[in-house]
Amino acid sequence: MYILKKLLLPSAPSYLAVNFKKLDTDRTNELKKHISEKYFQSDRDYLSSPEGKEDFEDHLFRRLNNFRENIITWLDSSVKLKGAKILEIGCGTGSSTVALAEQGADVIGVDIVGKDLVVAENRCKIYDVQAQFVNANAVDVHKIFKNTDFDLIVFFAALEHMTMQERIAAISSTYKMLKKNKFWCITGSPNRLWYFDDHTSCLPFFHWLPDDLAFKYSKFSPRKTISGQYREANDSSMLHFLRRGRGISYHEFEIAIGNVNSLEIVNSLALFNRGRSLIRRILWQFKPQGKYERFLINVGNNVHRGFYQPYLDLIIKKTTD
């Protein structure tokens, strides 16, 4: 199984892997304690459930390992991270921040959830890396950092948790912040055009449903945190539902920035990873997902293939001032 995994997705290059910091037992226990108390607020019932255990492992090491082996390798292939000034929007509990900072990037992490930032700050201290954190909404960062020159602005699994108005405003304003030849990135956001929602509901065609219908249909989700939560539709519950993640597609980009065919898409994570593995590339051709991608390409607008992947993971180079 290990050999197959490595064939499907090779390890990070040695020049990046050498910077991966390891924790000893004491620091690992410190991180466990902090995540449990500050993020999960010692919710024993949830943490003892199968879903809670998975969630805890994600926040402890799994996300960091994925960022290191997958996202960091991809980003560094287009934007050299060492010495880069990076605005990281949606830093959460800091796994992605550590992955960026240990490569020598100068990182400012932004998140709207205060308790997440408490964990992120502590995580960086435990890993002995430097980063700055700001509690803010993504639609406001262009005001907060209006005089800062960033090499890369990256949205880590964040845009799908915004309302449509917030999403378009955030894309537009952050793209305008960048100077010519700098980079804008989205990663970890589920594609609204995809036929299965494995991000929020774990249901087929859920992304395609109008919000009101999706709200009511959520009761059929196999995820208990979704199926048992949304019963009475009001402004508050609908907003909470939308923030769980409704997907994003190239349509927001055309509204926020302009014709997507005019954008210089430097890289797509899915295409990049298939380029790293011949076996992965061959298998994709025969999977239902690969066939569906080809269907989207055939019937859709002539946009970059990165907009037809299960998740939107794109690096865009700004070519104008």
pLDDT in tens, the chain (321 residues): 445 555 566 789 999 999 999 999 999 999 999 999 999 998 888 889 988 899 999 999 999 999 999 999 999 999 999 999 999 999 999 999 999 999 999 999 999 999 999 999 999 999 999 999 999 999 999 999 998 999 999 999 999 999 999 999 999 999 999 999 999 999 999 999 999 999 999 999 999 999 999 999 999 999 988 998 998 889 999 999 999 999 999 999 999 999 999 999 999 999 999 998 888 899 999 999 999 999 999 999 889 999 999 999 999 999 988
pLDDT in the model for residue 7: 53
Look up residue 51 and give its two tokens. Answer: 């879903």
pLDDT in the model for residue 145: 96
In contact, 10 and 277? CB cutoff 8 Å:
yes
Quickly tell me which residue has 């550590």 as its tokens: 98
- 292 by DSSP, 3-state: which? helix
Cα–Cα distance between 204 and 3 in angstroms, integer? Answer: 32
Helix axes 288-299, 278-286, angle to 10 degrees: 70
pLDDT tens digits, 258-298 = 999 999 999 999 999 999 888 889 999 999 999 999 999 99
Q: Give whole-number Cα distances, 268 to 147, 255, 264, in Å.
A: 29, 21, 11
Domain ranges (residues) in the chain: 2-201+249-317, 202-244
pLDDT in the model for residue 1: 47
Domain 2-201+249-317: assigned CATH number: 3.40.50.150
In contact, 100 and 89? CB cutoff 8 Å:
no
Decide: residue 29, CB within 10 A, 0-12 exposed, 13-18 middle, 19+ buried.
exposed
In contact, 246 and 160? CB cutoff 8 Å:
yes
Nearest CA-CA partner of 84 in 47, 134, 131: 131
